[in-house]
Structures are given as structure tokens and as C-alpha cells.
Structure 1
């Protein structure tokens, strides 16, 4: 059983199906082309250095036949699986690109797999047009696309998540005895999610919950407890057990620390993340709050503001539209269809609601919840597909289509304008990035530092000309040093001593750009929003050094 019966689709729409599939193919190829052309443009984010080393240590754990155990106690990263990081480490052994350029290319390709997963889910639910719209809407969510290149945790997790939802939706249509191949595929992608973050256990919960709802619905349909019990047992043995076993095996391949205690350590990691602390304040709505005591609306607000306006509008309409569709059925709600809609809606909303309920520690906007964006995009696409079908008989349909096209062109223009800092996007509800810059975090990961270093190099080349390389310069960085010093030329020397640094590179996170005095010589800005600055502090440092020398000489001078 499939989610859509094409025999009931109008003949004209069936004829158009190949063209929508072709459009999807072109979209995927175009996205791959963008990744290949632009992956070098993205900076090194705050977490990438430690994740790179973690991947190397896990690789060495295997290459040494388990004798190299550095990965078992590397910072707190042993609490994570290394599915992405270890893969990147192996590829880096043969890649012609730099370490982080290679990671960015791989990260971008993984992100495309997420877009492909959204297409598969949308197409399965409502046909080729819905598949195309699902892929397009996810691609044009800047917080997904912008982090697609250099977020080694949240993007791979989101990708595994959307594929888990896709296979779960397919299995629902075949309960209680789906094909083993589907169960194995579901177990594999859940295993990959666990091989990135232990939070992949969430997808086990989705499968179990909707399996129970299926059985309860069958009881309501048949009024025979025996039928419910039989399907519960069949579903447990044909879906839940093999799914868990296979997923756990995949997880262990990528998680050395879990191999040491396959039950205890994953549970310990789950407890660690459940009680994770962040002893700093975070900016929200223009005020700083402790990350451990945020307003309840912190995460919902970030999700709302991260979505393009049209996608947000469609997503808001998704649940009412699905409910209305089922209530209009003369035979009553369709069990399979309702459960499939339920999985997508639950995957989009439950993590947010649960985080609000437990007052989760959050500190980087909605970064840890990127995995809700793909199901949101698919839900919005299903509504858009329905609207397009209804517009076929609407007198002013071409005007509506023209307005939508104008909006789309404008939004893509914004993403181009923000490049390669798309992830700092905020929608028009808060006045875009410019309106958000004093209210919320923008570049919290140092992605703009690559451009800041280039700006500093150009400034000094202009000043020194051909003699630029004959001079050494000390540079201090606010936040993650790797985000800047990876791009340093040979005559730039990183220093931890800000007060004695010739130059200071700082982003606007926590007002770090105001931490030191200096002459501003370069700014990284996007759409009116300041992301980072470069300060020339040479005169200040020279004056301070001169003052110290004078003070030292006076100490040694004889009294008058």
C-alpha cells in the first residue's frame, strides 16, 4: 500500500508527473553544483576543530586494532558517535583539499542527502509535485542550507532524521507485516542518527508510539481485542525488534565508547545531554538570560524566525489542513493517512514542545533543533501542493503564481546576499538580519572570520605592498581561534594575549567586538547587520609598551 493512489489522480496531473520528477532531478543536480562550487567559501566553525580530532582518534582506534584509545576520553566528545567525523577523517587521508575544505564538501553532500530525503517523503505522501516542493522548501531554509557545509553534528543528525521519518511513514502503510528490507533501512538510518548523537533514540520512540496508536486504532475498527493483540505482537517482532537490533549494531560501529559498555554508556551519554550545563548567558529579544533559565518562548521564537515567511505560513496551515482533509472523508478518517500525517507533525513539533517542557539548556538559537526543519518543510510542501491543485479553477491563479514567484526570487536573492553566512538569516517578522542583530545572536560560530582574515590581509598588503610578507603580525581572536588562524598567512602569529596583539578579530557575539579599543579597519556585514570586525591595535600596543619602558626607566633612575 502506498500513500497516494495515482489512479485517482486526474489524467492531466499524471501526465505532468514526469516533468515534476525532471524538475526535482534538475534541482538536485543544481544543488550538487552549488555545493561543489561554493564549499570553499565557508569558514571553520567553533566546534569543527575538536570534531576533526575526534574523527582522527576514532579512525586511529580502528587502524591500530583498538589499541589507540584516545577517542574514549577526548574532551566530552566520547558521548557522541563519530559517523560523520570518522568518515571525514578517512576521506581526508586521500583528499586533495585541505582538512576543513574536505569536511565542508562532505558536510554539504550530506546536507543534499537530507534534501533528497525530504523529496522522497513528499513524493511518497502526495506525488512528484509535492516531492519537488519538499526539496525546494528545505533547500531555501537558510538555517539549513547555511549550516549544511560546516555543522558536523546537527546537519548529519537532521539528515538521518528525515530518512528515519520517511521509512517509518512507509512502514506504517504496510503494518503489521512490512517488508524486511524496509525495516532494515529504517534500522540503518536510525543507527546512523545514533552514530552522530544519542538523541537518535527519539526515532525509536516515534516508531513505538505510532505502532501502539496503530494497534489501538485497529481495536477501534474491529472491536476485537484479539486483532489488536495479534498485530501488536506481529509488529513488535517484525518491526520493533529487528529495527532496534540493526540500529544498535550500526551505532556501535561508529561509537567506540559505546562499544565498551553497549547499554550503560549510551544511557550515560543520554543522561549527560539531559543535564548538560552551559554556564553563560545567551541573548534573546535584546536581553541576556542564563542558558539554564530561558523564557519558554526562546526555542519556538527561534524556529518561527528561522523559517522563510511563505514556508512558515504553509507550515502553520499544515495540521489544520490535514485534520480538515480527514474529517471531510465520508467513511471517516483514514487510519494509514492519519498516522502518516501524525508522524510528520509529531516529528516537527514534539521535540520543540518537549524542550520547552523540560526547560532544556539552549545557547545557540535553534542549532540543536535543525532536525525539525526537514519535516516542517515537508508539511509545508504538502499544503502548497494542495493549494496549487485548488488554484487550478481559481480565476486569478496566474496572479497568485506571479506573486509567489516574485517572493521566491526575492528570498533566493536574500540567500545569495547573505552568502556564505546564510545561517544568520531571520525573517521579516523581526525585520530581517538587520532588525535581529541587536535582539538575537547572528554569527555565533565564527563563520565570518574567514572573510575577516582576508580583509585584514588586504589591508596590510595595501599598507606594506611588496614588503607585506617580510613583516610578522600578532593577531588575537575572540572565541574560536581555529575559525581565524586556519586562514592565517605564514606571517600572522596567533596570540592569546589580547592586550599585546597587533590586531584583534572579533564577532558581535556577547558584544565581543566592543571588548578592546582599536582602529576598525575591516567589517564583515550582511544586509546591514554587523557580523565581525578587525581592529588595528598597533598604536595602542606601542603606546603601552612605551609607557612600560618609561615606567621601568623611572624605577631605575636615581632620585632628584
Structure 2
């Protein structure tokens, strides 16, 4: 009997084993392909119109050599940087696609860049497999993926945020004197976050806190105050000061209003967003609350319900797993590893805790906090990677892998079924999007209106046949007109007068679908949840128009 050479068997297995980096490359290329193949499917969200014009005005500010100052007082948008919007405006000058289609393509590609950032962070922390899982878990969070295409503020901000966390994690092992290259990169990405929202100041806080924790740890290690002070000075001169200077310069490039008063205006914008008002009620757990007086659990609940069940479970295990790992380490906790875990945990948890603590004005679920999803995905991936190592000898491992694979397939099927409205997703803890539709907001941004217009067009084409284009129809819209009228055929005429409109398009936000009576002719639904409707009101409008005539005729007859 021939002896088995186990070393050769192992070598063959390694040779034919899948490369996690190759798998990630395939995943990223697939994501890019999805963006290119589907960006036309997404509707126009409520904020896109004003952001589009803001980007045009900032572009014109530069093209006019600073003479066109419309961007300095455009609505409240001057409080934001225009890193994304101005870039989109320049690309639109040469793009073969429509204005918003171009923005959606760019927005989607920026979203993929965030997936790359999650991969980089996960890979740096635990290797190629953890990097792959980080990318997969972020890409399959429907609230992230669905908003990749048409959220011009929160997605670019989230992307800059995860790259900031990545570079901070990279800097930690090299403190107090990291290389200039990594410091410059950190400054640039924080500057880009500030070039979208002044809330990018958070990342300064994360970096500063990490530096202080490093110094505190070194103080315990060395018990040498002079050495710690020297390292603090070195870290400040090597990281903090250059980071501030670079990020501030990048921010100013994309923020004309800040250029007018580089200190005062950013601080004014920060104060504005700290005291922003939203004089409307918002739906939560089936009840309407003032946005200024929400239950403390509003944001945590939305974060929990926005994540797929498996990702949520892994995320909840992340902090205990990190503590256990460090507690079991011989020689005590590792400073570098602990600080890196701390950076990720702070990026994921601090914004939520702070918003709850100050009773922040919130609306639209967790939309303004999408930037916590990438660090959550990375944390979940690190746990998944660790669990796989621990289960190498687990007897029922193939069964467990099979169950997880079936879950993954089912989850992907949900995302496909929701397309292109993935952002309305709620997980199984509340019964999915069907169970959530009477408890929480679903399509609060009008993304489904593109499909509603198409449904109305098909309805009228069926009714009128070849004569469809010979007729004009007035259409009213609940909420953002641009979300619907951008897709109108030439014979659809938008009107502000709902009562006299032939048709009314309405989403379910704030029960707008029940605002007017009419014959329902089209519904946009996903997985049992109603997103928007189209009402035919022609008979009612005609009856109302003829009512005065009938009244006059009746008066004449009585006389």
C-alpha cells in the first residue's frame, strides 16, 4: 500500500483553495457591474433636485472665477460642502446620460468605493478572508445598497468615514511617528467628509481620542511622564496638526461659503445643524411623534431593524468577542489591537449614543446615520472570521455552512425582490417590510415615483391606444414633484392644484395616499408593502366642474 504524502495533499489543497483577495476582486467588479447595469432603475429622491442645483452653482462659482455667488445663499445648502454635488455637475457637462442618471451612476460608484474601504479595513485587521466578509456584509445591507444610487449626502459621507477609520487603524501601530503618506491620506479623506457635511469634525474627535488613549496606555506601560509627554508632542506634530491642515484645505476647496469666513462659517454651520428644526411629526412604532420629542429608542431601533439578521447577530457579538480575545491573550491585552478595536467601536456606536444623549432632532429613520453601517459591517466580519477559525473541527460545520448559505440566498432574494427600493428594507424582527409598513416609514423619499409614473403611462396607453399622445393629462404629486415629473412623458402636465388634477401620485408617507379620494389605477408594492399609488380623479374633477353649471340651471328653472 502506497503511503500518503500529506504534505503534498496539503500543498494541492492550498493551490486549489479559493483566494479571498480574488473573491473580493470578483465581488467588487460584480458590484460595479450591478451599478452600471441598474443605475437607470432608481428614482429621484426628495433632496436630489436642490443638491443638483447646488452643485451647478458651486461649479459656476469656479467657472466664473468667483463672481457667480449663487452658491453662497442657495436655500440652506450653503451649510454643506459640495464635494459630491460639484463633481457630479462637472461630469454632467460631458455625460451622455441625463442629469439625474449621471448622478445615480456616480453615486453608485462612490458607494462601491465605500465597500472597498470596508474590505481594506477588514483585511488590515484580520486578513483577506475578513476583508472579503467586510465587503460582503456591507454590500448586502439593503439600507446602504439601496441608497448608494441616489443619496448625495449620506452615502459620500459614509464612504469618507470608513476610509477615515481605516487610515486611523493603520496609524495606530506606527504611533507616535507614523509615515507622512498615511497622515496625508487621513487628512484628505477627513477633508472630503467635511466637504460633504460639517459633521466630519467627528473624525477629528475619533483621531484625537485615539491619541489620548494611546498616551494613557503608554503612561501605564512606562510610568515615565517625560517619555509620554514627548510622545504626545511627537504625535501632535506628526499626526494631529498636519491632519487638521490638510483636511481643512480639502474642505475649503469644496465649500465656497466656508471660504468667505474659514473659521466663523464652519462653526456657524455646525451650530445650525446642532439646532436644526423639523416642524413635523414622524412615524415610529405605529404612532406619530414630534421630531423634536422622539422616544430615546427611535434611532437604536432603526439601526437594529435596518441590518440583516445575521449581520446584526455578528455585530452584537463583536464587543464581547473583542473583550474575550484580549482577556485571553498571554501577557495581557495588546495595546495596538485594543486601540484599533476601539476606533471601530467608537465610529459605530458613539454617533448613536450621542444623538440619544442630546435628544437630537431625527426623521427619516436612520438615514442621517448611514455612516455607522460600514464600521458595523467590519465588526461583524471580524467576528465571522474568528468564528470560522473556531469551528474548524466542529462536527456539524458542513450543516452550519449550508444553513448560512441558505440564509444568504434568501436574503439576496429579498434584495432582488425589493429592487430598486432596497432602502425600504426592515429585517425579520418586525416581520420584514410588510410588517413594518404600518409602524415605520418605508418610501419616505419618493424613490417609487418613477415606477408609479411608468404605471400611469401604461394605464393611459392601454385606455387610449394610438391616440394617447393626442391627449394632455394634469398630474399632481404628494411630496417632491421632481421625483415624478422628471419621468413624465410630454403630454403629462404637473399641477400644484391637487383638487383639479386628473391624476394624483402619492406615497404612504404621512398617509398621503389617503389625502384625496379617487379610483386607484396603479400600486407600487414590494413584498406586500404599499409604497405609492396612482389615483384617477377625472370623473370627480369633471363632476365638480359641472356642479356649478347644474346649480345655475337649477336656479334658472326655479325662477
Aligned equivalent of 1:459: 459
Task: Report the equivalent of 2:292.
Answer: 292
Per-residue deviation at 1:548? 2.3
| Preserved contact between residue 17 and residue 129 of structure 1 (Cα < 8 Å) | no
Separation (CA, whole Å) in 1 of partners of 2:520 and 2:548: 25
- Residue 57 of structure 1 deviates from its aligned partner by 0.2
Q: Which residue number corresponds to residue 81 of structure 1?
A: 81
Conservation of the 8 A alpha-carbon contact between 1:81 and 1:195: yes
Secondary structure class of the residue paired with 1:173: helix
What's the CA shift for 1:66? 0.3
Q: CA deviation at 1:394?
A: 0.5
| Superposition map of 1:114-153 within 5 A | 114-153=114-153
Residue 391 of structure 1 and its aligned partner are, at CA, apart by 1.1
Assess if the C-alpha contact under 8 Å between 1:17 and 1:128 holds in 2.
Answer: no
Maintained 8 Å contact 1:426/1:433: yes
Q: Deviations over 1:37-67 (max 9, x none)?
A: 0000000000000000000000000000000
- In 2, distance between residues paired with 1:392 and 1:348? 30
Name the CA distance, whole Å, in 2 between partners of 1:438 and 1:11: 57
Deviations 1:129-185 (A, max 9, x none): 000000000000000000000000000000000000000000011100000010000
Q: Counterparts in 2 of 1:365-404, with a 5 A limit? A: 365-404=365-404
1:550 corresponds to 2:553: no
Q: CA separation in 2, counterparts of 1:78 and 1:433?
A: 36
1:552 CA displacement: 4.7
Report the CA distance between 1:14 and its aligned residue: 8.2
Deviations 1:382-419 (A, max 9, x none): 00000111111111100000000000000000000000
Which residue number in structure 1 is paired with residue 340 of structure 2? 340
Q: Separation in 1 of the partners of 2:66 and 2:557? A: 68
Matches within 5 A, 1:17-416: 19-416=19-416
Tell me by how many angstroms 1:12 deviates: 10
Structure 1 CA distance, aligned partners of 2:59 and 2:330?
Answer: 58
- The structural deviation recorded for 1:431 is 0.1
Partner of 1:435: 435
Match of 1:504 in 2: 504
CA distance in 2, matches of 1:553, 1:170: 83
Q: In structure 1, what is the Cα distance between the partners aligned to 2:515 and 2:432? A: 26
SS in 1 for 2:520: strand
SS in 1 for 2:104: helix
Offset of 1:227 from its aligned partner? 1.3
Cα distance in structure 2, aligned partners of 1:346 and 1:395: 37
Relative to structure 1, is the Cα distance of residues 299 and 14 closer, same or farther in structure 2, using a 3 angstrom cutoff?
A: farther
**TM-score of the superposition, structure 1-length normalised?**
0.97
Provide the rounded CA distance (Å) in 1 between the counterparts of 2:14 and 2:448. 47
Note closer, same or farther for the CA distance 1:13–1:58 as it changes in structure 2 (3 Å cut). farther
Q: Tell me, what secondary structure is at the counterpart of 1:146?
A: helix
State the partner residue of 1:516.
Answer: 516
The equivalent of 1:444 in structure 2 is 444
Cα distance in 2 for residues equivalent to 1:135 and 1:487: 34
Per-residue Cα deviation, 1:511-543 (whole angstroms, up to 9, x for no partner): 000000000000000000000000000000000
| Structure 2 gap ranges (5+) | 1-9
Q: Compared with structure 1, are the counterparts of its residues 86 and 364 closer, same or farther at alpha carbon in structure 2 (3 Å cutoff)?
A: same
Shift of 1:554: 5.6
Task: Give the Cα–Cα distance (whole angstroms) in 2 for the partners of residues 139 and 381 of structure 1.
Answer: 12
Mean Cα displacement is larger for which, 16-25 or 529-538?
16-25
Q: How has the CA–CA distance of structure 1 residues 366 and 14 changed in structure 2, closer, same or farther, with 3 Å as cutoff?
A: farther
CA distance in 2, matches of 1:82, 1:30: 29
Shift of 1:551: 3.3
Q: 1:194 to 1:13 in 2, by over 3 A?
A: farther
CA distance in structure 1 between the aligned counterparts of 2:431 and 2:16, rounded to whole angstroms: 39
Distance in 2 between residues matched to 1:12 and 1:297, nearest whole Å: 53
TM-superposed deviation, 1:558: 8.3
Partner SS state of residue 530, structure 2: strand
Provide closer, same or farther for how the CA distance between residues 12 and 45 of structure 1 changes in structure 2, counting only shifts above 3 A: farther
Q: In the aligned structure 1, how far is the partner of 2:411 from the partner of 2:557?
A: 72
Closer/same/farther in 2, CA of residues 115 and 13 from structure 1, 3 Å limit: farther
Secondary structure at 1:388 match in 2? helix
Distance 1:132 1:260, change over 3 A: same
- In the TM superposition, what is the alpha-carbon distance from 1:18 to its structure 2 partner? 6.9
SS at match of 2:147: coil
2:491 match = 491
| Cα drift, residue 13 of structure 1 | 10
SS at match of 2:524: strand
Aligned to 1:4: none
Structure-1 separation of matches of 2:305 and 2:234: 43
Where do 5+ consecutive residues of structure 1 fail to align?
1-9
Per-residue displacement from partner, 1:53-106 (whole Å, max 9, x unpaired)? 000000000000000000000000000000000000000000000000000000
Provide closer, same or farther for how the CA distance between residues 226 and 537 of structure 1 changes in structure 2, counting only shifts above 3 A: same
- Distance, in Å, in 2 between the alignment partners of 1:174 and 1:17 is 33
- 1:295-315 CA-to-partner distances (Å, cap 9, x unmatched) read 000000000000000000000
Distance 2:452 2:396 in 1: 48
Alignment RMSD, CA only? 1.4
